[in-house]
Every structure is written in C-alpha cells, then in structure tokens.
Structure 1
C-alpha cells in the first residue's frame, strides 16, 4: 500500500490530567498527580525560584523525592523546627512508573537505566508511600500544603504567585506559562505552529491551527 503524504500544521498533545488517588493506589502510566515534599523554609524558597535539584541518593537512588501521602512529607526533613518546616504541594507528571517491592530490591537504585521516569514504593513496603522522580522538570510547585509559621506561609505563597507571572523575553517560560497555565520555575520552551505561526506549548492540551480550520 503506497504511503500517503501527510502535512502536519496543528498540535495535539496527550492530556495528562491531574488524578487524585488515595495513598497506596498505584500511579497509572503518564498521569499527573498532586504530591507533597517536605523541606526547610529556606530550601522551599530556592525550590520555588529555581526548581528542584535531584538528590544525590536515597532509598530509590538519585532524583526528586515526594509522596501523595502528606503524612510522609510532614516527616521531612527530620529535626526541622515547627516554624521552619514547609510542605510543598506539587503537580507531578509521573511518566513511565516502576513499582518497587521486596522482590526487586536490586532495581531500587538502577530503575533509571531501564527507561522509567518514576519509581514508586507502596505503603505496604515502607509504611508511607514514596515516589522518586528522575527528571525535576516533571515536578512543579502548586502551593503550600503546610507551614508551621503563618508569616512564612504567606511569604512563600506570594513568591509562588510572583513566579507564576514571571516570563523571560528569551522565549523560555519561567513561572506561569500563558499557554498551558503551568507553574514551571525552571522553565520550558515554547514552539511555533508550522501552519499559522501561533505560539504553542508542549504542555497544552490542544492547539487548533487557524490556517487549517
């Protein structure tokens, strides 16, 4: 059968809707989830303005650690004074997920080499579920879920709002993208539709080309 020449001028993206699952339910491929990350208030400021930096190690190797169970996040970092402790609310695009258990302990620190984006330990293994995300670009701060000091919480929420409205003139978005509305503290690149020249974003649900409509 002869191949057909297809001219692409529009934009269609997989919709990674934010799914709410109970702690303990397995993440389902390539979906976006609300998760939490516990940290010190100073680190929270750095994360909001500059994005996450993968840890050098941990139970599941290097990556960004978070959980859908806020109780897990509230336990980190250990020994942090109440007034300096912050739990960030995140939007995480998990991508391809590897479920970890006691039968595949050998993979706990090697899953990244097998093409997975996220590793997941269920609560049946460690008490509270834990996720490790390979690429920090898959993690965005959405808000402050918990903070022992009201003044700190207010200051951090203001910082998040400022980041949402910050856009660099280079065409790389930092803060709130006008196209996809995501908060992306470390930025992502915008593209141009080949047909109508409109600005499109890889995270948009859909773009309808004006020239082809």
Structure 2
C-alpha cells in the first residue's frame, strides 16, 4: 500500500504565484494541494481546519505576515512550514525561522527544487538554503542590537556534540559532518539527535539559529 499524498497548503498574496505553486505541486502523484490562502490570517484558519502536512509560506503579506502566521501555525498544529521569499537577506525570514519554520528557500528555485523541498520538510527534516541562510544570520548577528546569550544548557553538550553543532551551523549535511569528524554517518545522527534533545530544539534550522545566538559560531567567521 502506498503512503497517502503529502497534504499542502499554499500561502501567497499574489494570485499568479499561488496558482503557479499549486500547478507544480498538484502535478506530483505524492503531493496534494488541499487549500490556498492570500494572507497569514487566512493561512492560520485553514491550517487549523485542513491540517495540512506542509504549509508553503510567503513572508510579506497584508493582514498578517508570514512570520506571525508561522508562529501561530507551529503553535496550533503539527504542520511543517516551508518559507519562500524573494529576498535572501530578509530579516523577516530570520524571524520566521525562530518562530518554528522548518525550511527557507528563495522563490528563484526551479520546479524540481520546490517539489523536493516539500518532500524533505514533510519527512520532518529541516531545509536551509545553504549560503543564503548563513549570510542572513551572520548579517543579523553583526548588528548592534544582537546580543549573544550562551544558555546554561549548552554546558550539557560533550565536546564532540559542540563540534557537531558548529558544523550544523555551517550548513553541512550528515555525510559532510561525518567526513569532517572522521566518524560514521550513524554516529553523526546520534550526535545530532543528542544536540537537539539536550538543547530543547526541534530541528536543524533551530540548531543553526541557536549556534549563532549563543556564540558557538562567531558571526563573520570563515565557514571553511
């Protein structure tokens, strides 16, 4: 028996963009678009009533923006939120990640990348646009109002787990982390799981944000 299709809610204030996303996603046999919304308030209502697996969320909208909508949807439902934006250094996107979004991509992605992003997020994995997300976070951390706050629970991590967190913040995959630490993929999965559990984080996206906010990774540091 095949798995049920991934239920998707598409949110964007531009009707043409919404239609395009819907057409692309509905053409896939394993994805079903169950609703569409033109603003964040409507998105929250539909997310609660339709219970989609994934919400494809625009950021800049009238009535309620994508950041507030993401925060409410993550609080009220189990839906995964995939944020799409036109701006790669949009502070609102950073806020959306902190609000609980599971992924962040630019609207310049191709058809195949959008489809795969929905599948990845639906599986419960975090999805970051690698260099874009790093630039976004570093840009914000350089600003005067950004204050690093090392939480006490950081001390619960082992040395290896701290190293894993640093590599996560650089956007490395499990395989790349394994190569860096000279360990197996299984060991990396264990380290990542321990990091998320000990720090009370939901996924890799929140781990990246945490790493910068806590000072584990220095803003502007050479990623290589």
Same fold (TM over 0.5): no
Higher relative contact order (CA 8 A, sep 6+): 1
TM-score range, shorter chain: under 0.3
Q: TM-score, normalised by structure 1?
A: 0.25
Q: TM-score, normalised by structure 2?
A: 0.24
User: More strand per residue: 1 or 2?
Assistant: 1
